[in-house]
Amino acid sequence: MKETEQFTENELKFILNYKNQIQNGALRVCCNYLLENIVFISKLNISKLTIQYCVNIRPILHSETIKELTIENCSINNIDDLQLENLEILNLSGNNEMSQILNFSRFKNLKQLNLSHNFFSDISFLRDAKLTKLILQERNLVLNDTSVLTSLLELKELCISYVRHVDIQPLQVLQSSVQLKISISYIKNLNFDNLKTLPPLQELCISRCQGIDVFGQLQNQKKLQKLHIICQTLENFNFLKQFTTLKELNLSSSHISDLTMLQQMDQLLHLTLSNNKIKEISDLSNFSSLQYFDISNNPGVDLMALIFMRNLKYLNISKSEIKDLSDLNVLTNLENLNISENPRINISELKYLTNLTSLVSCHNQLQNISVFKYLFNLKVLEIGKNYQIDITPLQYLTQLTKLSMYDCNIIDISVLRPLCELEYLNISNNSIINIQPLILMTKLEQLYIIHNIVSDFTAIRHLPYFDQYAIKCQSVATHKQQSLANTQQYIYTTTTIVRELRAKREIIRTRRDQARYTVRKLIQKCYTSHLQFADTLKTLFLTLNNSETQQ
């Protein structure tokens, strides 16, 4: 902040609420009310500003410090009044009423521009811009004239998606020394005949583009470093064998089951094979340099070859029906691990991965997580949708900055009290009543507590958007309390009925026992009478016999 400026009481209150963001030089606003009340934005040394879901951007018309600006999903139709001389990055995505930018030349320092999800059909205003990165993405967007691309002599990255009738021929005139990054998605019948004559590509991403044949045109792209082929239905991938010096390869969602074509790509640092039909990865045994590996959603895959990937820093094995993590014991350099949606997984082997800084283990039917206390370097932990989890060991993870444990049937969060470094916390969809343990979390920037039974919000008054938290949570709390009351009434009624039924059963049982006793007595009485009658008959019979003998 500029020391010479004076602030009103309301401005100081705003600054206090957003202290952490302002100190870092970045501010995010997603509410008209808040934006309209920070007309003093020019007094702050904000270099990065994000505005979402607002209709008025007048408060930021003038600023000498903003270098990165995002105006996303706002109902605006022009930015002609913006005077941001030092702006370098501009994101205008999702402003569906915008179709033109006048006086674009005033953004002399602009390097990156995102025009996605707008109504642009004419991009001639970009002529002679010094852009290094341009993103154009919109369903059925028609670019009638792409010749303006010939003037973007400093362009290094071009992303086009959902664009009809796009022609990449103008890119041929760009300097051959420029290493372009091209990303193409959701485009049908694209003509790639000119790809051979393009400047050397550094990165090429082709995603969900049906009806195109590009791979035969890649033979001259010897300097290609990153290749992404996503959701492409191909007969074979043998053309990949020529790219032995690739550093990054993404073949996700491409119906792959065989990896023999990758055997010679041992210089890869980044490999993504998610959403395929891979059962074993032995062909990757010589990938000792690999640092990033995503093999998620390949059910039943054998991970034994991981023991040769000692330099892995990121590993995603989610949705792979993994039960045992013993193959990961040797990955001592691993920092990020995703093991979500493996419901039969045994996490006891995690204790050897003490360098982990990020762990995602959602929807795994976790109960005992005592092994987490060995992961003292963790900064990010996501354990949502583990419905019977005991969160007691979390008290040892004092370095956490992000914690997500939504939908876990949690009632008490007192064990979170020592986690004072948290900046992000998601405890939504639980049964939490008391959030007092959050009072010491002064660094919290994002908090999600909706769908709990919270009624006292004193502990989070220091947080931005406190009023919104309170309103949402009180509404949900009232609903939950009413539901709880209804449930308790139902339980009481049911219990009463059960007790009455039990009492009636006891009465019936008593009457039955009494009836049995009476019947038993009658039987005994009848039996006694029967014996007496028999004795009488016997005596009479003997008497008659004696009488006959005497006569």
For range 13-36, the mean pLDDT: 60
Least confident of 8-17, 231-240, 303-312: 8-17
Q: What is the pLDDT of residue 415?
A: 96
Band (466; pLDDT cuts 50, 70, 90): low
More confident residue, 434 or 532: 434
pLDDT of the residue at 385: 95
3-class secondary structure for 200-254? CEEEEEEECCCCCCCHHHHCCCCCCCEEEEECCCCCCCHHHHHCCCCCEEECCCC
Model confidence over 35-71: pLDDT tens digits? 554 555 666 677 888 877 776 666 566 777 888 888 8
Model confidence pLDDT, tens digit, residues 401-430: 999 999 999 999 999 999 999 999 999 999
Q: What does the chain come to in residues?
A: 551
Residues 386-399: tens digit of each pLDDT: 999 999 999 999 99
Q: What is the pLDDT of residue 178?
A: 47
Q: What is the per-residue pLDDT across 481-540, written as a single tens digit (0 to 9) for each?
A: 555 556 666 676 777 788 888 888 888 888 888 888 887 777 777 877 777 777 777 777
Q: What is the mean pLDDT of residues 450-469?
A: 74
Assess whether pLDDT exceeds 80 at residue 265.
Answer: yes
Give dist(CA 93, CA 144) in Å, integer.
Answer: 20
Report in angstroms the alpha-carbon separations of 419 from 155, 401, 440, 506.
45, 8, 8, 55
Span 446-456, average pLDDT: 87
**Two tokens at 206?**
């082709």
Q: What is the pLDDT of residue 461?
A: 79
DSSP-based three-state secondary structure for 363: coil
More confident residue, 349 or 23: 349
Amino acid in the structure at residue 506: E
What burial class does residue 350 get, using C-beta atoms within 10 Å of its C-beta: 0-12 exposed, 13-18 middle, 19+ buried?
buried
Mean pLDDT of the chain: 79
Question: What pLDDT, on the 0 to 100 scale, is given for residue 454?
Answer: 86
Burial class of 515 by CB neighbour count within 10 A (0 to 12, 13 to 18, 19+): exposed
pLDDT at 31 over 60: no
Instruction: Taking residues 349-373, report their average pLDDT.
Output: 95
pLDDT single digits (tens) 246-255: 999 999 998 8
Query: Distance (Å, rounded) from C-alpha 299 to C-alpha 532?
Result: 85
State the pLDDT at residue 474.
Answer: 46
H/E element, 382: strand 380-382
Percent of the chain with pLDDT over 70: 72
Q: pLDDT (tens digit, 9 = 90+) per residue, 302-341?
A: 999 999 999 999 999 999 999 999 999 999 999 999 999 9
- Decide: helix, strand or coil at residue 139: strand
Assigned token pair, 9:
């009481």
Region 197-217: what's the mean pLDDT? 70
CA separation for the pair 457, 222 (Å, rounded): 60
pLDDT at 440 over 50: yes
Give CA–CA dist 198/211, Å, rounded. Answer: 21
What share of the chain has pLDDT > 90, as a percent? 34
Residue 10 confidence (pLDDT): 60
Structure confidence at residue 363 (pLDDT): 96
